[in-house]
Structure 1
């Protein structure tokens, strides 16, 4: 069965069949040709994959992100970030990273961050003398923080797939998110000084207090959501619902940039995004069931224990594997298919499952910014109106920066776990 499942999945991917459909069809084909199970198993397992309370957070966080995007939040966050660092050389590039860090704590999506922030900052960087491919690359690298800084949809999916606490995943994402964000700010500062970019970044800069006053309502959202989760006031799922109510309030009554007539379009867009993710989740549940039934996880476990002597070499192999997987497979699908297989192996090597989840998500986030199938690359290319290949050369330094941060996250677990451990002490 393993050969049938994996070969059919690769074949369907090669035909450019949509990810969710390819995973579901591979599962159906495996049942029909290599098992004695009835086809009734297909809807049963697909439904069971969606029958999880934490998954309710996914549509709510997607909806909150869309409301904030259309409610003028991204523009105010950009102005605030520019007011903070816009006076220095490379300040606009640094403002891009800072804005994406803040917006990540609102949207939970790297693609949404690319469109919402990139639509403002890529043209702004172009006007201030940055080459368009460089501006798009900085945006691409910064937007990956959308899935690393909580709340994060991939963190929810990992928690559901491996029965790991979503709350713990959210807490553990703070340290790595700050590390990667800080590393990217340092990288763009050095890059701008070497290349001479951003000499005019102080132009059009607002006073700091004005920028803070304009963005204050938006800045309160991650404080309310994450503070409520960490403080035990509400669960991540309840926090997602709170974020929708708050986003609607500031979008319609504070900033007044969302009208009643805009809501159907926002709800429709959110429903479409949610539908795609939910279909992937349900299809991956069927696929994972068949993989487990075939005994593949046991075989991989035996091979891993025979090949790697320590958790250090195992984690190095996992990083290499996930980096390659992330280049070709959509993040949600990769988590749902691979996390149930790899997480028990990590636990067997003494790796904390929350720490392993962060390693997995950071790796797969890099897949969003690397060719050939990095979704953030395509999104930024669309915003900047440039061919995707024009960004390849300038991608080298951001990718190396994130890889360096990943090595620290991998081999110093405290970067991910210190805040969680403090909250339990």
Structure 2
């Protein structure tokens, strides 16, 4: 943590800390360090990461964002605070395509924040809303974060995808409730009501994007392909849609998109490899055993312990980027959760949601920085805390009503 606060990149901070510890302990040959790194990233489940990233890039390049925003506008644009509601609904739609919070914040923010500003919305409100709504990207399936969590904690990615559906939609509804309150208090405008013919036309235009999560989840549930193979299917589908159907991607664009996808894939893979070495050291030092003892000394009540874990992860998320926090702490805390009798799917979903909420809050909230950069305002001016409170309410509802997360996974994949 000290190296990260001094400005060293996260991956190198974990690698240096783990290597120095191994040198000090002199318990294993250092040749095992690069071997451990390679073995970790040489994983079949992790092959889904580049496929889903490339699929998201292709979909965005194909004009999917514009079509999803148009559909959302046709559905809810006539409500009071119409553009704000459009932002949330479009985020819910886009989540089923991209699986990435930062990609969602950038794609939708660049389109909607200028439009909201022109329509009289405060930039602080627009930036806070876009940043908050982008958290649904990795919660509503498919999700890159869930793929990585499943790989490092040996949890079914298909079950995680299904677990995120209901909480993700509830977060969307909670954000729309906050928008409705702000819209009434501040007198935000209504848009023009779309005709049913217009709504049908917009739905038809966006159908090829909306069926992506249906294809992915349907294939996984039906046993047609695994979550990893689903990533390849999504990427292939995106090529067909972008090149042959919408015809907004040219063949000469594909090398650039593939290079961008490779660059975006390299970052989490490097962090994952270094985190595996760091987690290996913690496991050798029996950190999980000591942590269980500490938690049990505080309380033996499972619900109180769950609450404490949520608070700890929220604090971690304030200061550590979500992916890094997950890679550092999940290998330690997930076995602890299993020891305490928590459901692995429920615990995974709670951890993912709380860390994603942290991406909206300063000082390291990536989505917040993206949205504020688009709006051209300082991060401290963004209106976020009402939205954070709404998302935290949904989170605690999921914590204390586990079927909200576990009903769909165990309906389609019985224990």
1 CA distance for matches of 2:231 and 2:42?
A: 18
Aligned counterparts of 2:399 and 2:308: Cα–Cα separation in 1? 11
Please name the residue that 2:234 is paired with: 243
3-state SS, counterpart of residue 36 of structure 1: coil
**CA offset at residue 203 of structure 1?**
7.9
Q: Find the counterpart in structure 2 of residue 3 from structure 1.
A: none
Q: Does 1:69 align with 2:60?
A: yes
Q: Which runs of 5+ in 1 are unaligned?
A: 1-9
Q: Which moved more, 1:376-385 or 1:288-297?
A: 376-385
* Counterpart selection for 1:420 from 403, 409, 412: 409
Once the 2 structures are TM-superposed, how far is the Cα of residue 349 of structure 1 from its aligned partner?
A: 2.4
Aligned pair 1:398/2:384, yes or no? no
> What does residue 312 of structure 1 align with?
303
The answer to which of 414-423 and 215-224 deviates more is 215-224
Say which of 188, 192, 196 aligns to 1:202: 192
Aligned counterpart for 2:70 among listed residues 66, 75, 79: 79
In 2: Cα distance, 1:100 partner to 1:84 partner: 14
SS for the counterpart of 1:173 is helix
- Matched with 2:146 is 155
| 1:256 equivalenced with 2:247 (yes/no) | yes
Q: Tell me if the contact between 2:78 and 2:194 (Cα under 8 Å) persists in the aligned partners.
A: no
> After the TM superposition, which of the residue ranges 370-379 and 254-263 deviates more from structure 2?
254-263
CA distances 1:32-77 after superposition (whole Å, capped 9, x unpaired): 2233322102101111211221100011001101111111000000
Secondary structure class of the residue paired with 1:154: helix
The answer (yes or no) to whether the contact 1:55–1:156 under 8 Å persists in 2 is yes
Q: Give distance in 2, aligned partners of 1:168 and 1:382.
A: 35
Between the aligned partners of 2:192 and 2:129, the Cα distance in structure 1 is: 18
Counterpart contact for 2:54–2:257, Cα < 8 Å = yes
Q: Using the alignment, how far apart are the partners of 2:135 and 2:285 within structure 1?
A: 35
* Structure 2 gaps, min length 5: none
Specify the SS of the correspondent of 2:384.
Answer: helix
Contact residue 128 and residue 200 of structure 1 kept, 8 A: no
Length, aligned pairs only = 413
Matched with 2:125 is 134
Per-residue CA deviation, residues 236-280 of structure 1 (Å, 9 max, x unaligned), is 111100100111111111111111222222111111110001001
Tell me how far apart the structure 2 counterparts of residues 266 and 203 of structure 1 sit (CA, whole Å): 37
- Distance in 1, Cα, partners of 2:413 & 2:359: 33
Q: Does 1:42 align with 2:28?
A: no
Which residue of 2 is the match for residue 289 of structure 1?
Answer: 280
After TM superposition, the structure 1 stretch with the greater mean CA deviation from structure 2, 257-266 or 235-244, is 257-266
Distance 1:349 1:406 in 2: 20
Q: 2:316: which partner in 1?
A: 325
- 1:204 is displaced (CA, Å) by 9.0
Q: Is the contact between residue 133 and residue 172 of structure 2 (CA under 8 Å) also seen in structure 1?
A: yes
Distance 1:357 1:377 in 2: 24
- CA shift at 1:369, angstroms? 0.2
Question: What whole-Å deviation, never above 9, does each CA across 1:346-389 have from its counterpart, x for those lacking one?
Answer: 22222101100000000000111000000001111222222222
Instruction: State the partner residue of 1:6.
Output: none
TM-score scaled by structure 1? Answer: 0.94
- 1:100 matched to 2:91: yes
Q: Note if contact 1:310-1:349 (Cα within 8 Å) is conserved in structure 2.
A: no
SS of corresponding position for 1:39: coil
Counterpart Cα distance in 1 of 2:330 and 2:356: 15
- Cα distance change, pair 301–35 in 1 and its aligned pair in 2 (3 A): farther
Q: Write the mapping of 1:270-289 to structure 2, written as runs, cut at 5 A.
A: 270-289=261-280
Q: TM-score, normalised by structure 2?
A: 0.96
Say which is worse superposed, 138-147 or 216-225, in terms of deviation: 216-225
Q: Distance in 2 between matches of 1:149 and 1:298?
A: 33
Task: Give RMSD over aligned pairs.
Answer: 1.5
| Consecutive aligned runs of 4 or more in structure 1 exceeding 4 Å deviation | 203-206
1:124 deviates by: 1.4
